[in-house]
Structure 1
Amino acid sequence: MTTYAALLRGINVGGNKKLPMADLRTLMTGLGYDAVRTHLQSGQAVFTTGHGDEESLAAELSRAVEGRFGFPVDVIVRDHAYLKAVADACPFPAAELEPRQLHLTYYSAPVAPERYAEIDPAAHLPEEFRLGDRCLYLYAPDGIGRSKLAEALSRTRVTKGLTGTARNWNTVLKLVEMTEN
């Protein structure tokens, strides 16, 4: 059995795509996943299963959510080893920063640096970003809500063909903790 985190993109945000976590847990249990737990209301679930891989589990859960709730949801599934490795590889001094200053965007596939060639890092200082293994780290000292760099990084032409979902650093660490077994 492997422990995974499922990251659902864009649910329960601004009154759109409402998906109660109790209903998500019921749905996931019905798919045969074990030890299903959710974190907050913004689309994180942890579960164990002995079948499938990250991509097939993400596709299965995405289809099930759309079938049950009637709206499409992009899902990224990652196992504990990946979540821990990505947190440990943070290029910014996470322990010295406020969690609201550091965010991680998980991507569905590896991200080539060329995608971000049009973004001038110097123009956004003191904000910074770094690419990781299927992820992007964002340091935004004033928070993501005011971040011009976050806006530039999320432009459709930059992220075209990728599924990405961002989490603040507290959630990143919580998912590592929740998937430990």
Structure 2
Amino acid sequence: MTETFIVLLRGVNVVGANSLPMKDFLRFLESAGAGRVRTYIQSGNAVFQADAGDAAGFPDRIKASIQRSLGFAPEVILLRLEELEKAVAANPYPDADADPRALHLMFLASTPGQPDLTALARLCADGEQFSLNGRVFYFFAPAGIGRSKAARQIEKRLGVLGTARNWRTTGRVLQMARELAASGQSQTVPRPSVLKRRAKGLSSTSNNEAKP
């Protein structure tokens, strides 16, 4: 069964170290078995369709492809369309619509086991608020996160890695995913045997590119 997925990368820069050109990102996704891929801006956001039974292996395959070709391995967060819809619907800060850059949703690699929310709350200032809901952490910062002490401590206090997107970007990615799902799912997606051949081909290409 074909489903619509969202992939978000952590620690990808627009320029300089750990930068990932979108044409390469697209190539890595397709080699991992993603179909009908669409990317959004340069920070590592994409929507695609794939066979639901093969979804669990996507993060590892994408990370391995980036590591082989570019020398760094970003955390890869994979969401089903339904998961992103629930995260947006559960937003506890309705004021975000008036200032969409004030709210950030951090999508976590796993559900925090023993988050230290008390310590994080002590760091909040300038009207900052937060809420943890499973694998989604909502951080509302009316004054911005550039100088926020709490923002810099989120992963440490939660005990898990994650990647954050502001409310505007989250909404745009959700819109893209919905449009992709609504446009039809008739395209055949690669099966696991095809994925292995593609991964092997990508590895060979990467090795050749590394030669002087």
Is the TM-score greater than 0.5? yes
Structure 1 residues 129 and 14, CA gap change in structure 2 (3 angstroms): farther
- RMSD of aligned alpha carbons: 1.9
Paired residue secondary structure (1:11) = coil
Query: How many Å apart are 1:13 and its aligned residue?
Result: 4.8
The answer on whether the counterparts of 2:35 and 2:48 sit within 8 Å (CA) in structure 1 is yes
Aligned to 1:89: 90
Aligned to 2:107: 106
Q: Distance in 2 between matches of 1:82 and 1:65?
A: 25
Q: Distance in 2 between matches of 1:116 and 1:135?
A: 14
Structure 1 residues 70 and 119, CA gap change in structure 2 (3 angstroms): closer
Aligned sequence identity (%): 33
Aligned to 2:195: none
Q: Deviations over 1:66-87 (max 9, x none)?
A: 1222211110000100001000
Q: Deviations over 1:93-147 (max 9, x none)?
A: 1454311100000001112464323233585351000001201000000111132
Question: What pairs up with 1:135-150 in 2 under 5 angstroms?
Answer: 135-150=136-151
The answer on whether the counterparts of 2:96 and 2:102 sit within 8 Å (CA) in structure 1 is no
Structure 1 residues 94 and 14, CA gap change in structure 2 (3 angstroms): farther
Amino acid at match of 1:26: R
Task: Please tell me whether residue 29 in structure 1 is matched to residue 30 in structure 2.
Answer: yes
Unaligned runs of 5+ in 2: 182-212
Question: What pairs up with 1:1-181 in 2 under 5 angstroms?
Answer: 1-13=2-14, 15-50=16-51, 51-53=53-55, 55-112=56-113, 114-121=115-122, 124-154=125-155, 156=156, 158-160=157-159, 162-180=160-178, 181=181
Quick check: which one's helix share is greater?
2
Amino acid at match of 2:145: I
The answer on whether the counterparts of 1:86 and 1:133 sit within 8 Å (CA) in structure 2 is no
Query: How many Å apart are 1:33 and its aligned residue?
Result: 1.2
Unaligned runs of 5+ in 1: none
Return 90-99 or 68-77, whichever deviates more.
Answer: 90-99
The answer on whether the counterparts of 1:128 and 1:140 sit within 8 Å (CA) in structure 2 is yes
Q: Distance in 2 between matches of 1:110 and 1:20?
A: 30
Q: Distance in 1 between matches of 2:19 and 2:124?
A: 37
Q: Distance in 2 between matches of 1:122 and 1:169?
A: 22
Name the TM-score, length of structure 2 as normaliser: 0.76
Q: How many residues align?
A: 177
Amino acid at match of 1:9: R
Structure 1 residues 33 and 114, CA gap change in structure 2 (3 angstroms): closer
The answer on whether the counterparts of 2:128 and 2:142 sit within 8 Å (CA) in structure 1 is yes
The answer on whether the counterparts of 1:4 and 1:179 sit within 8 Å (CA) in structure 2 is yes
Paired residue secondary structure (1:16) = coil
